[in-house]
Amino acid sequence: MRVKLDSKKLCSEFVKKIEEISGQDLMSCYQCGKCSAGCPMVFAMDILPNQIIRLVQLGLDEEIGKSKTIWLCASCITCGARCPRGVDLSKVMEALRQLTLRKNEDTVELSKMAQETIKELPQIALVSGFRKFTG
Ligand code: SF4
Ligand code: SF4
């Protein structure tokens, strides 16, 4: 993953906002990767969970916005249980989703999903999907 760093954005308002919403100390993460190693959703993610927290640390919100990872997180809290620094990454993912939803940026338009797919999805997937997909 190649990204262009903007030093002005380091420790930006974005970082403070994510810390405020999630209640997590983002800078305590030292990139051990244990969160990603245990995450059951990494097979589908384009950016690993530990990489997401690194991007947040660096204030690279636009890079996170291009990724599907925060929407694929299942909030299973496996990452938080494994983290040696006590970082609950599921809360960071939720904070990132909340910030995106506050901007009214839809990630998936349910109206464009095939009716067959909607019928086959488990109800719980639709309920959680509505929470994530609506702006
Ligand atoms: S397990 Fe914790 S310290 Fe390790 S990379 Fe993940 S968030 Fe950072
Ligand atoms: S809470 Fe999300 S990021 Fe953490 S292990 Fe579960 S699916 Fe992965």
Ligand 2, residues 36, 45, 56, 77: which to mutate, most atoms within 8 A of Cβ? 77
Residue nearest to atom 4 of ligand 1 (CA): 32
The whole-angstrom distance between residue 106's C-alpha and the CA centroid of its chain comes to 15
CB atoms within 10 A of CB 42: 16
| CATH code (residue 88) | 1.10.1060.10
pLDDT at 48 over 90: yes
Dmax of the chain from CA atoms?
48
The tokens of 61 are what? 């919100």
Q: Confirm or reject: Cβ of 32 under 6 Å from ligand 1.
A: yes
The tokens of 52 are what? 């997401």
Q: Is residue 3 one of the residues assigned to a domain? A: no
Is 60 found in the same domain as 125?
A: no
Is 116 found in the same domain as 78?
A: no
How do residues 85-108 score in pLDDT, each as one tens digit? 999 999 999 999 888 878 776 666
Ligand 1, residues 85, 88, 90, 96: which to mutate, most atoms within 8 A of Cβ? 85
pTM: 0.80
**pLDDT category of residue 7 using cuts at 50, 70 and 90:** very low
pLDDT attached to residue 120: 85
Between 56 and 105, the more confident residue is: 56
pLDDT, average across residues 54-73? 90
